Chains A and B, each alone.
Chain A
Amino acid sequence: MRATFSGFTTAQMALSSSQNSLHVTGQNIANINTEGYTRQQADQISLNTTTPDQRFNIGYGSMTTKISQIRDPYLDIRFRNEVASLGKADLVCDVLNELENVFDEIAKSGLQDQLSEVLTTLQDYSLNPNNQAFQEMVKGSADSLTKLINQYAKEVSAVRTETNDSLFEVDIPNVNLLLEKIGALNYSIEQAELLGSSPLELYDERNMYLDELASYIPIEVKTIETTLQPGITVGRVQVNLLQDGVDSYGNSNDILIINGYISGSFQGSIDEFGETDIQYTAAVGETRVDTAVSELNTLIENLESANYNIAIYNLKVQAETDDASISSLNVEKASWEAVRDGILKQIDAMFAINYATDERGVVTELSFIEEKAPEAQYDDNGDFDGYSSATSTLYTIPLTDISNITTNQTMPTASQPFSVDETGTIYVQTLNALYPISNNATTLQLDFESGSFAGSLQMLNEYGDGTTFKGIGFYEEQLNTFALMLAEVFNGINNAGVPESPYSTDYTADNYNPDYDPNTDTPYNLFTFSNPPNDDWFFGQQVLEDNPLYDYTIDPNYEEFDEEGNPVETFNEGAAIQYLVNQGIVNDTHYAGITSDTMDFSTITFADLTGYSIDDYVYNVPEQIWVEAEPPSNFASMLQVSTGWNNDEWGIVNSITGGASGANDNILNMINALNSSHTFESYAPEYLDSISSPDDPQITEGDMIRSFEGSFHEFFANTSSVLGLDINNNKQVLNNHTVLVNEIENSKSSVSGVNLDEEGMNLIKYQQAYNAAARLMTTLDEALDKIINSMGLVGR
């Protein structure tokens, strides 16, 4: 039987539910313009009880169970994936636009016009070769050209600096701050959830930060149900940084960068080759190392609890290190063996824990090796007598100190032999001692597929090698190549008339004069590079460029003797070439139709080398390999009109045919040089750096990143066109991503956004429900009033 006054409760709860819904509607309207706000709704249920012996149940009204958000997690995933691509494209476009300001000469006068100006002055000079004033005009024009190249180089360098600064000073700190904020929010959210509340606004804030984070780096967000206290679980948010590929165990290379409220941080650095890197350092105490240790111990515990006498052998722990920091811990166990009840158990668990994310680090190996495996026992008669027990002996090699190798350690008997201290250092407990096997911080080298970090790294590090992306380095190298070629060609022409000049236009080993002394002989260079790093550097000559052999000397009389003074090797051309090929000094493609597989080094001679004039040269005593000079790498910023020309110590050599005062054949050569084709070969900066050490000349043809055939004008116009095309393509890519992001944003907004029409209708809906509930109460009141005040008065 339903209680008389229960109807009032129904009305009161209906009033309360409607009021709650009205409040939620108000909240939605109030936050229509709040960034990241997700539409909320009051979840309402019908309240009823079930009593078995009753024929029917009338409900007790409605109840607001919770306030929830209307959100589609799938759209969040899509949005974050797409926004990462957008972030990358956006940054690439930004930097390319900066470069466009330097290189785009379509609407402004620039380097191409100045080249034409040089040509014009040379043409004038060719008509008046006897008039110094015309040469001064050429010089002035050439000076302007060099200054313009310097300026372009400076501006490109500024683009690099700005991009680097923006990454190091703004983006990385911003991402680190986001990691901290998300971590802090996770903590607040977990605390609120522990108390049973739903911190919706904190969810919104976290989602906003996650969306922002996704524009910098590619991430994957997971929610892991985590037990904080018995019976109390919360959804702990983990954020993984997506990485390419899998490790040798088939596990994903992704890196956990936020685990609940603990996160690491990113750092940027520039390596010795000028390449920008971003590393991630995990927070101490919350790393995959912890997990590895825990899993190892669990395994050992499980085995021990099953009464196994554990023998571990062929257990290999590998740690990948970078700058003495452990970047990952791999535990690779070939097999475990255990003996129980006198029976040998082979446990081919192939247990492996791997958290490697990067194969690039230096690998330091740590091995645990069982010294005595169980083996069959035989009695005096030679009959089988069971197995010997496994002895548990360890070899440990602490990773922090390779010299600290201890042998014959007994297998740990402690139930948890592996441990980690508060600094993150892992220890293994043997019977004798506690050995550290790693140090703390885990610093990882990272690859970014998308996000603005990827865009920054791509622009900063890519040199347009082959078909790869053309970053800032490409344009730096184009300018350097241009400057080098200008100096090389014009110095070559101007020195062509100088007897035995090492600067002729066709600069091969044949016409190189080895007696040339740069300290005493003055070349008639028109262009030089300021502040050259080495006096031996031939201005305008790309040492090692075309003919790497040129830079090596071989002594034909070379003989090597053993300890007793007997010759062990005499000079042999084939061996010499083989050596050069093996060293990567000569690429085997230099041999016409011969590959290194089919090449018979015992018969080949230098004459077989195509493209090289090396007969007059002697080659190859490995110990005597030397590098001619260390060339500077930023030619474009150092190019200048030579001091000698500037001070009129020498000038343009008008004629190399011994003509009279009106002869101008060499000026015509220069005019021709400006108009005709040259082979512009560009090299990666790494190449230039790698030859700085004479002990390790890593010179291969592969280091030449591109070659362009054309005139100076064409070379520069091509650079401008390449940039234009890249901008064009990237804008298209950016537009595509923008459209996609907008679409997803629309879809998100469609699900989670506030619609005023809808909220207006909700206002009416809930108000009417409220009014109806109030009317219910009045009706009930009237009904009761009838019973209470009007009944029993019949006949009165």
Chain B
Amino acid sequence: MRLTTNQIMSNYQTGLNSAAMQQYSDMNSVMSQRKFQTVAEDPSSAAKAFQLRKQSMATEDHIANVKTIISKFDNASSSALQINTIANQVSGDMLRAINGASSYESRLAYAQGIDALKESIVSSANAKFGDSHIFGGQNVDFVPFQLDEDGYLQFSMDGENYYNVSDPDPDVQEILKSFSDASVFVDLGFGLEYEAGTTNLIENSAFNISICGLDMLGFGETEDGMPTNIVDLMNDFVIELEIDPPDIDYLNDIHDQFSAGADDILDFITSIGTRGTFLNTTQTRLDDSLFALQEKIVDTENIDVAEAITNYSWSTFAYNQALKIGNGILSQSFIDFMH
């Protein structure tokens, strides 16, 4: 094949340009620390990277959620413990009022003390975390608990309709039961699934953050018609103490029921603790997932520095050699040697 001067120059130019492009590309890899700069360079890795990034961001969201919820549960646990402490004190006061107070005045003093502690329990049950009431269940905006004129506890979901927690009316109890059961689910990365074709959430696929104070303080009545709610029990106890002479057997019954209620608070605290432990485990799992995802992202998108620098050095060398060759082949022709 005949080789012409411009052909040599043109081919040399093409080769030199390729070498320069390669060097530029390797330089970009080193500078950006990325294996590929565009999707087109490696479509399958890019598709994988998009997926990993999305998962990573979602996991970060879940971690943020779980942290917030852990704080809420810590707060709830702390308030519940406070209520438990008060309940223990009330239990002691009740025993002393039954057994140790011989005079009407001393019983009245106990009655006043227990009444004050009742207020404290209600205040603690209305505690807030941020803008939200902790023990309102699904109700976070409105004060969930209040005392009626007679000193009995009421619960509300909307701040307008308050229901006596020990109201014997089955309809009211049904409503209170629905309040107690009302849940607030959040997405913690458990899949968030719905029953096919419906908007009914599969509960295992999300986490219920609703904490209803009704479960802590109790609602409804025993078979004997005695309130199970400790605040109402305290109120009944105070009313009885204010009667002279009081019905000691009745007071004992109230105290017994109160003790059972106080035990329920402990169960409630244990339940919150269990959920808190679950949240901590979840956080650990999510942290691990995030770490693994970020590792994968690095593997997928980022360069192996040693390899990238080696590539860059090699392409620089190749480019320099191409320049040297050019100097050799382009400078002379037969004409230079003619006499």
Which residues of A pack against B, CB within 8 Å? 32-33, 100, 104-107, 112-113, 116, 119-120, 123-124, 126-131, 496, 505-506, 656, 659-665, 668-669, 671-672, 675, 713, 717-718, 720-721, 723-725, 727-728, 731, 742, 745-746, 749-751, 753-761, 763-764
B324 at the interface (CB under 8 A from A): no
| Residues 93 to 117 of chain B near chain A (Cβ within 8 Å) | none
| Residues 33 to 78 of chain B near chain A (Cβ within 8 Å) | 34, 36-41, 43, 46-47, 49-51, 53-54, 57-58, 60-62, 64-65, 68-69
Q: Is the CB of B131 within 8 A of A130?
A: yes
Shortest C-beta distance, B330 to chain A (Å), equals 11
Please pick, from B57, B137, B206, B209, the residue contacting A119 in the complex, using a CB distance under 8 A: B57
B6 at the interface (CB under 8 A from A): yes
Please pick, from B34, B62, B335, the residue contacting A107 in the complex, using a CB distance under 8 A: B34
Q: Is the CB of B69 within 8 A of A660?
A: no
Task: State in angstroms the CA–CA spacing of A200 and B137 once bound together.
Answer: 96
Task: State in angstroms the CA–CA spacing of A116 and B55 once bound together.
Answer: 10
Collect the chain B residues with CB atoms within 8 Å of residue A717's CB: 47, 50-51, 54
Write 27 A-B pairs (CB below 8 A) sorted by A numbering.
A32-B5, A32-B6, A33-B6, A105-B50, A113-B57, A119-B57, A120-B64, A126-B186, A126-B187, A127-B69, A127-B186, A130-B131, A130-B140, A130-B141, A668-B185, A671-B192, A672-B194, A675-B192, A724-B38, A724-B40, A742-B11, A746-B11, A750-B3, A750-B4, A754-B6, A757-B334, A761-B334
Q: Is the CB of B138 within 8 A of A662?
A: yes
Shortest C-beta distance, A209 to chain B (Å), equals 20
Please pick, from B58, B136, B187, the residue contacting A116 in the complex, using a CB distance under 8 A: B58
Q: Is the CB of A112 within 8 A of B50?
A: yes
Given A713-B50, A728-B40, A662 contacting B141 (CB threshold 8 A)? yes
Q: Is the CB of B201 within 8 A of A668?
A: yes
Q: Mark B199-241, 1 if CB is under 8 A from A, else 0.
A: 1010000100110000000000000000000000000000000
Which of A124, A130, A731 has its CB near the most chain B CB atoms (within 10 A)?
A130
Q: Mark B173-200, 1 if CB is under 8 A from A, else 0.
A: 0000000001011110000101001010
Query: Which residue in chain B gives the minimum CB-CB distance to A767?
Result: B338
Which of A496, A672, A723 has its CB near the most chain B CB atoms (within 10 A)?
A672
Q: Is the CB of A763 within 8 A of B47?
A: no
Q: Is the CB of B38 within 8 A of A107?
A: yes
Please pick, from A113, A506, A755, A764, the residue contacting B4 in the complex, using a CB distance under 8 A: A755
Q: Is the CB of B158 within 8 A of A664?
A: no
Given A32-B6, A106-B38, A668-B187, A659 contacting B65 (CB threshold 8 A)? no
Task: State in angstroms the CA–CA spacing of A757 and B60 once bound together.
Answer: 70
Query: Which residue in chain A gives the minimum CB-CB distance to B136?
Result: A662
Q: Is the CB of B64 within 8 A of A123?
A: yes
Shortest 9 CB-CB contacts between residues of A and residues of B:
A724-B39, A753-B4, A661-B141, A727-B40, A662-B140, A717-B50, A757-B334, A760-B334, A660-B138
Shortest C-beta distance, B69 to chain A (Å), equals 7
Q: Is the CB of B132 within 8 A of A669?
A: no
Please pick, from A119, A496, A727, the residue contacting B58 in the complex, using a CB distance under 8 A: A119
Q: Is the CB of A659 within 8 A of B2?
A: no
Shortest C-beta distance, A123 to chain B (Å), equals 4
Q: Is the CB of B338 within 8 A of A106?
A: no
Query: Which residue in chain A gives the minimum CB-CB distance to B140?
Result: A662
Collect the chain B residues with CB atoms within 8 Å of residue A755's CB: 2-5
Task: State in angstroms the CA–CA spacing of A32 and B14 once bound together.
Answer: 19
Given A120-B57, A727-B40, A721 contacting B46 (CB threshold 8 A)? yes
Shortest C-beta distance, B290 to chain A (Å), equals 14
Query: Which residue in chain A gives the minimum CB-CB distance to B301?
Result: A106
Task: State in angstroms the CA–CA spacing of A671 and B197 once bound together.
Answer: 17
Shortest C-beta distance, A52 to chain B (Å), equals 43
B83 at the interface (CB under 8 A from A): no
Query: Which residue in chain B gives the minimum CB-CB distance to A126?
Result: B186
Query: Which residue in chain A gives the minimum CB-CB distance to B14?
Result: A742
Collect the chain B residues with CB atoms within 8 Å of residue A761's CB: 334
Q: Is the CB of A672 within 8 A of B192?
A: yes
B157 at the interface (CB under 8 A from A): yes
Q: Is the CB of B7 within 8 A of A749?
A: yes
Q: Is the CB of A754 within 8 A of B4?
A: yes
Collect the chain B residues with CB atoms within 8 Å of residue A731's CB: 40
Q: Mark B124-155, 1 if CB is under 8 A from A, else 0.
A: 00000011100011111110000000000000
Given A116-B58, A665-B201, A128 contacting B38 (CB threshold 8 A)? no
Q: Is the CB of A100 within 8 A of B40?
A: yes
Shortest C-beta distance, A38 to chain B (Å), equals 11
Collect the chain A residues with CB atoms within 8 Å of residue B335's CB: 756-757, 759-760, 763
Q: Is the CB of A661 within 8 A of B6?
A: no
Please pick, from B43, B130, B131, B199, the residue contacting A725 in the complex, using a CB distance under 8 A: B43
Q: Is the CB of A663 within 8 A of B39?
A: no
Collect the chain A residues with CB atoms within 8 Å of residue B306's CB: none
Besides A660-B182, A758-B2, 20 other CB < 8 A contacts?
A104-B38, A104-B39, A106-B38, A106-B50, A124-B64, A127-B186, A659-B138, A659-B182, A660-B137, A662-B184, A665-B185, A721-B39, A724-B40, A746-B7, A750-B1, A750-B2, A755-B3, A756-B334, A756-B335, A760-B338
Collect the chain B residues with CB atoms within 8 Å of residue A757's CB: 5, 333-335
Please pick, from B32, B54, B132, the residue contacting A662 in the complex, using a CB distance under 8 A: B132
Q: Is the CB of A660 within 8 A of B157?
A: yes
Shortest C-beta distance, A647 to chain B (Å), equals 23
B313 at the interface (CB under 8 A from A): no
Collect the chain A residues with CB atoms within 8 Å of residue B120's CB: none
Q: Is the CB of A106 within 8 A of B46?
A: yes
Collect the chain B residues with CB atoms within 8 Å of residue A750's CB: 1-4, 7
Collect the chain B residues with CB atoms within 8 Å of residue A668's CB: 185-187, 192, 201, 206
Shortest C-beta distance, B202 to chain A (Å), equals 11
B270 at the interface (CB under 8 A from A): no
Query: Which residue in chain B gives the minimum CB-CB distance to A659?
Result: B138
Collect the chain A residues with CB atoms within 8 Å of residue B199's CB: 496, 505, 656, 665, 669
Task: State in angstroms the CA–CA spacing of A460 and B286 once bound together.
Answer: 47
Collect the chain B residues with CB atoms within 8 Å of residue A759's CB: 335
Collect the chain A residues with CB atoms within 8 Å of residue B192's CB: 668, 671-672, 675
Shortest C-beta distance, B180 to chain A (Å), equals 12
B284 at the interface (CB under 8 A from A): no
Collect the chain A residues with CB atoms within 8 Å of residue B141's CB: 130, 660-662
Q: Is the CB of B49 within 8 A of A128?
A: no
Given A106-B36, A728-B43, A660 contacting B139 (CB threshold 8 A)? yes
Shortest C-beta distance, A677 to chain B (Å), equals 12
Task: State in angstroms the CA–CA spacing of A505 and B69 once bound together.
Answer: 30
Task: State in angstroms the CA–CA spacing of A607 and B123 once bound together.
Answer: 62
Collect the chain B residues with CB atoms within 8 Å of residue A127's CB: 65, 68-69, 186, 209
Query: Which residue in chain B gives the minimum CB-CB distance to A756?
Result: B333
Q: Is the CB of B158 within 8 A of A660?
A: yes
Collect the chain B residues with CB atoms within 8 Å of residue A749's CB: 4, 6-7, 10
